[in-house]
Structure 1
């Protein structure tokens, strides 16, 4: 890889071509491509002036702001390794990441000031920069830090080796401490170039971005590819569906992402205002599954614009996707509304048993993938890297199957599988079967130790009907599933705990199970 083919050089060239066209939009405020490039160059040169060198890790704990995007671009243009830090993490978690990554720079927005002020080790980092109000003396103010720096590309930016680090995306760490997923010049450049194919982005695409910078996948999956195409990203996270659709109509948005909790509201708004479909070309979804009936309704409303996919931080780009023809009557999938689509041209997906042997079509096992965009390994953790990357393939820890037509169905996490009396129970299957129980808002299923059966199935639920009791939930499960899969006990809470990435925190539920009060006897 030559220097002109680095991720930073690739994005800088796109920003130069974009010129004075809008690149970022927040409500009525706009940042142009030219302005982004100017500020990103200044940031890269200011880091150099603070003694940092290409390859040095710069940690970024950022909320949704123009300057936050400029910080990522500046790291990539300057050849620094951008260390993504979820802005929802507490001080202890952030401090662990800074130490693990060996951060030489740290940028934070004032919205995370409370966590930052509780971090002990910032004095050892040469450059600490605040976007907004600094929380401590000695922290640079972003505008002052950039003011004296030159707005031109830094000399000898670095990052010329395909294996040089570009972005380290830390996982939320539900199974232990956060893990640093290392992406390189090679994997990140391939991801950015591939995503427009995957999500059907066009040159000068106008993207309604409902995600946030909390999640690194939104940066390399949506933000950077849109800028690479000379397009425009409009930040819409946190808007209700009515305002979201209104802004897409006003801005002639071409693509958006539908979070699962907003899918029903999205459908209602599309039904009311179908004029948004005049420019909307693709609607993306991934992660937690949309209830099949809701997804079917979405497809009825928007047709082949729907794009479902499967991937993870370690794969960079998704490895499976649905295609426009999949939503037609000619689709050969067993159930397209439960599927994550078929493997992409850059990926290979297999189902394996516990020993790593490939299973026949239709059998359920662990999902194993290899991809041109996959990560290099986990930072400072060769043992975990060797456990996850086996013969060049990622053992995802997810459970699923492939049907005869090659469509993937993701059914659960391998570590969440319950072995009860010699029978395998997948919590996601139980949870999916319960989505239409009247009065049941949400349910999390997991296993706890049992003296006779090894493990037994239990559930924690949120209800909208106070008359819905434990017996009714168990009976509803019995009517939908084999008897051995039903919960043997159900506890009710006001809300389910979630991780920083908004997934249900089942380890926390397991720990809290003994302290959750049982349902009082109504008889």
Structure 2
């Protein structure tokens, strides 16, 4: 196993790219880690570098996931290249990329791999906060190149570019495509991007699928998506990982007969478009009625004055669980009762939040994902006041 520690800068990206090239050619499996992540050493130790590596492994993505339990996703050269090639085929061919997300996560690592396969050198936005002017500066060499120009962002980064306007937004407009992943892109953000002339491609995927495998609702070439009888999303194709590092039990639970069972609920429409309905474990049982948190979140973020929302279930003596929402407003917070009526009309009485709290920003973990555990704990301990 080859550990590659990076600080988010260009030199680290170049070192990781060289390690990837070597791994694809049959060299040691790569374990990318962030030197700025306080939890990286624990993740590294959980991967047991001294133990033999599972066959056909080019990259191990170490993640604590949504449960906090360390896992190492095993990705083969075939899975990694299938994802990169399918992405280029969907977007418009190999091109020039800007790395704007951490490379130790699968989304950032794939930017390096796509560049490697395209024979281009990626530009790098140093992973030290995110500012619109810095994005514009980092994007300049990519936008000056001939051929397709791409980058990948998380929704929070895209929102900051839309808010800031100016040079950062102008740079965003100049990309042929911006893949937006790691977390769901709300309808409101999609509309804002379209109105601003920014070409975004919302992506759904995970480390186990070697990055996004469904673009704008439709699976990439070679990918199949099929919810099971309980609406759990299942995925198959060459992009799949072949298991978890030293965890045959987890591997057997998630991978079977060429399919990977995700932790998400969804449905496929008649035109083949996948609609992700939320995580299996984000279902709230309130008064005997099961309410998907994502349904309430969509109803809230569709309302004027709401930028983001996270909905969780909190213990309640009467209801078992109470539906509670933490909301980021656009400017002056909208009237709570108007929001509650909107949810009731869209999703029913049981889904109506018993409490709506406003905050300046939602807590995040990883590459732009909402930290639901932190939201729940903060609301339970009243660290976020009404």
TM-score, scaled to structure 1: 0.63
* Match runs of 1:304-453 below 5 Å: 306-321=200-215, 340-354=216-230, 365-437=231-303, 440-453=306-319
2:172, 2:330 → 1: CA distance? 34
Partner of 1:83: 31
Deviation at 1:441, TM superposition (A): 4.4
Counterpart pick for 1:190 among 57, 82, 97: 82
Asked if the contact 1:284/1:307 (under 8 Å) is kept, the reply is yes
Counterpart pick for 2:190 among 295, 303, 314: 295
Partner of 1:140: none
CA pair 477-190 structure 1, distance change in 2 beyond 3 A? closer
Asked if the contact 1:171/1:178 (under 8 Å) is kept, the reply is yes
1:431, 1:275 → 2: CA distance? 27
Deviation at 1:349, TM superposition (A): 0.6
Partner of 1:285: 180
SS in 2 for 1:99: helix
SS in 2 for 1:257: strand
SS in 2 for 1:174: coil
Counterpart pick for 2:62 among 170, 188, 193: 170
1:276, 1:489 → 2: CA distance? 38
Partner of 1:213: 103
TM-score, scaled to structure 2: 0.83
Query: Given the alignment of the two structures, is residue 229 of structure 1 paired with residue 229 of structure 2, yes or no?
Result: no
User: Which one has a larger percent strand, Structure 1 or Structure 2?
Assistant: 2
SS in 1 for 2:314: strand
Asked if the contact 1:366/1:395 (under 8 Å) is kept, the reply is yes
SS in 2 for 1:314: helix
Counterpart pick for 2:154 among 249, 259, 268: 259
SS in 2 for 1:165: coil
CA pair 68-286 structure 1, distance change in 2 beyond 3 A? closer
Note the alpha carbon deviations across 1:368-406, whole angstroms, 9 max, x for none.
111111101011111111111133311111111111111
CA pair 228-448 structure 1, distance change in 2 beyond 3 A? same
Partner of 1:15: none
Deviation at 1:471, TM superposition (A): 5.0
CA pair 498-61 structure 1, distance change in 2 beyond 3 A? same
Gaps of 5+ in 2: none
CA RMSD between the two structures: 3.4
Asked if the contact 2:217/2:273 (under 8 Å) is kept, the reply is yes
CA pair 465-223 structure 1, distance change in 2 beyond 3 A? closer
SS in 2 for 1:377: coil
Gaps of 5+ in 1: 1-55, 106-158, 322-339, 355-364
Asked if the contact 1:172/1:500 (under 8 Å) is kept, the reply is no
Asked if the contact 2:206/2:212 (under 8 Å) is kept, the reply is yes
